């Protein structure tokens, strides 16, 4: 599965797991938590639309992976398990072409 394009179902499961990690992580800065929820909400919308959130012909990614990566870097010191989960999800999204 590592090199295969993930299915929508696999992305949904991974997103649910990331939400669970976020809920279990204590003392996450509220602004970072809010930003992460916004990005994850955007991803949920994208998945429910079948991944068709980017304009046709645009080379831009449908999901703002750079925002997720910035959050992962910010979580690295105090919340390494959340950062690791976020990085795994970023990799999964990239493999899915989102």
Per-residue model confidence as pLDDT tens digits over 6-18: 888 888 888 888 8
In a domain, 1, yes or no: no
In a domain, 56, yes or no: no
In a domain, 57, yes or no: no
Residue 91 clears pLDDT 50, i.e. is over it: yes
- Pick the residue with more confidence: 41 or 61? 41
For residue 15, what are the domain limits? Answer: 8-51+62-96
In a domain, 31, yes or no: yes
User: For the chain, what is the domain count?
Assistant: 1
Q: How far is CA 17 from CA 55, 60, 82, 85, in A?
A: 29, 26, 11, 8
Highest mean pLDDT among 2-16, 60-74, 80-94: 80-94
At 72, give phi and psi (nearest 5°).
-60, -45
In a domain, 15, yes or no: yes
- Pick the residue with more confidence: 16 or 26? 16
Asked if 6 contacts 96 with a C-beta cutoff of 8 angstroms, the reply is yes
In a domain, 14, yes or no: yes
pTM: 0.72
In a domain, 76, yes or no: yes
């Amino acid at each position: 599965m590592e090199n295969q394009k993930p299915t929508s179902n696999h992305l949904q499961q991974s997103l649910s797991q990331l939400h669970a990690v976020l809920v279990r992580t204590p003392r996450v800065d509220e602004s970072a938590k809010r930003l992460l929820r916004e990005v994850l909400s955007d991803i949920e919308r994208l998945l429910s639309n079948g991944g068709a959130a980017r304009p046709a012909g645009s080379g831009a990614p449908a999901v703002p992976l750079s925002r997720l990566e910035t959050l992962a870097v910010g979580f690295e010191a105090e919340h390494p398990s959340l950062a690791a989960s976020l990085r795994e999800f970023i990799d999964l999204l990239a493999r899915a072409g989102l």
